[in-house]
Amino acid sequence: MTEQQLDENPVEDTTDEQEGATDERIKQAPEEAPAETDETEADSFSRAYVEQLRQENGKYRQRAQRADELAHRLHNELVRSTGRLADPADLPFSEDHLDDPGTLTSAIEDLVARKPHLAARRPAGQIGQGVSASPATVDLAAILRNKAG
């Protein structure tokens, strides 16, 4: 800007006016503070009562945590009882699965469809265990006859 433009647009100094307004606000603030503390003191509770409430709240938190643990265990056992998954922890926990067996079944089917490697594997065919037919005994005379023959 040129000097002529600066002379035409003088900048006003308003810092004195702003400082005066701030001083008035500072002077008024302490007068309002005691009224607020009187109200908060009337709303406060005794220390013993607050400690009692905290202990009671702590008991409820522990009960809720225990209930959550039991719900997760129940969910894992319900999934295990279906026998469809190799590891029941593969299906994420949902409270809906506890209430509705159809929802649990559809969630397992959806998971197995998306990730077939999570399905439980069942052995098939001769695996070398359990009851099996006894093999024929070795007959040395029959072997000699077959070779001579």
For residue 85, the cross-strand partners are: 119
The reply to whether 111 falls in a domain is: yes
pLDDT grade, residue 5 (50/70/90)?
low
CA-CA distance, 54 to 94, in Å (whole number)? 30
Q: Using the 8-state DSSP alphabet, how is residue 83 labeled? A: T
The reply to whether 10 falls in a domain is: no
CA-CA distance, 66 to 126, in Å (whole number)? 46
The reply to whether 88 falls in a domain is: yes
The reply to whether 89 falls in a domain is: yes
CA 114, chain centre distance (Å): 22
In this predicted structure, the answer to whether residue 145 has a pLDDT above a threshold of 60 is: yes
The reply to whether 107 falls in a domain is: yes
pLDDT digit string (tens) for 107-136? Answer: 999 999 999 999 998 877 777 777 777 777
pLDDT digit string (tens) for 32-59? Answer: 555 555 555 667 899 999 999 999 999 9
The reply to whether 61 falls in a domain is: yes
Do the Cβ atoms of 72 and 93 come closer than 8 Å? yes
Give the total number of structural domains in the chain. Answer: 1
Q: pTM of the entire structure?
A: 0.53
The reply to whether 135 falls in a domain is: no
pLDDT at 14: 55
- The gap between the terminal CA atoms of the chain, to the nearest Å, is 125
pLDDT digit string (tens) for 72-117? Answer: 999 999 999 999 999 999 999 999 999 999 999 999 999 999 999 9
The reply to whether 149 falls in a domain is: no
Q: Between helices 101-114 and 47-82, what is the axis angle to 10°?
A: 60
pLDDT grade, residue 60 (50/70/90)?
very high
pLDDT at 11: 56
62 is in which domain, residue-wise? 45-119
